[in-house]
A and B are shown apart, each in its own frame.
Chain A
Amino acid sequence: ETGVTQTPRHLVMGMTNKKSLKCEQHLGHNAMYWYKQSAKKPLELMFVYNFKEQTENNSVPSRFSPECPNSSHLFLHLHTLQPEDSALYLCASSQEREYGELFFGEGSRLTVL
């Protein structure tokens, strides 16, 4: 496997469910990111991890909980989501923090019913 891999690619969940998104990068990068992409809106940065330590949390609601067990893996735990949370969730990595050259996964399309 190469690049950044995200699973699942599609997820449908009810408002009371708990689910997790997984991201794995095979590039040897030190920084990993979660972005939210909604239609017609710019990419929104949610969380940043640098060397497994969370460095950014852009006022994301607590119903989104990130986890970074090592520099290659990143999770986004989801619980009691709202329909407006339906979006494409993108994981990305970069060589270092504050690099503009990001490598993105293909995303997880989330639908909250």
Chain B
Amino acid sequence: EDQVTQSPEALRLQEGESSSLNCSYTVSGLRGLFWYRQDPGKGPEFLFTLYSAGEEKEKERLKATLTKKESFLHITAPKPEDSATYLCAVLSGSARQLTFGSGTQLTVLP
């Protein structure tokens, strides 16, 4: 059974204070790892797909990286508008559906 664990559950940062969110996974044959952003009261919004260890993707202040056991979402010099819940999900060779983690709630204080 695929498993996804995200840490920390919640993170508070000062504006400009860089940090990383972690997504650890256990799957049988990774087909892809996906990051989503969810604002309060809204549905998740797709951010990145990573397919193999060593791959990196960037978008503005966000950079996602992937190893064989975990993925990191690095946030460089965050701004208050980066505050959201960040969700990680995996698609494996055995499961026909995404397995989501519980998310990390990020708050960036001005």
Contacts and interface: CB of A to CB of B under 8 A. Distances in A.
Choose among A56, A98, A109 the residue with the greatest number of B CB atoms under 10 Å from its CB. Answer: A98
A92 B43 contact: yes
Nearest to B32: A100
Contact of B87 (A43, A45, A92): A43
B34 interface: yes
B11 interface: no
Interface in B10-35: 31-34
A104 interface: yes
B50 to A, nearest CB: 10
A90 interface: yes
A65 B33 CA distance: 30
B42 interface: yes
Interface in A88-110: 90, 92, 97-98, 100-107, 109
A45 B97 contact: yes
Chain B, interface SS category = strand
A97 B42 contact: no
A12 to B, nearest CB: 16
Nearest to A98: B96
Chain A, interface SS category = loop
Contacts of A90: 43-44
Nearest to B39: A106
A43 B100 contact: yes
Interface string B71-110: 0000000000000000101110000111111110000000
A76 interface: no
A100 B100 contact: no
B46 A101 contact: yes
Interface of B: 4, 31-34, 41-46, 49, 87, 89-91, 96-103
Q: Which 5 A-B pairs have the closest CB atoms?
A: A104-B43, A43-B100, A42-B100, A100-B91, A100-B34
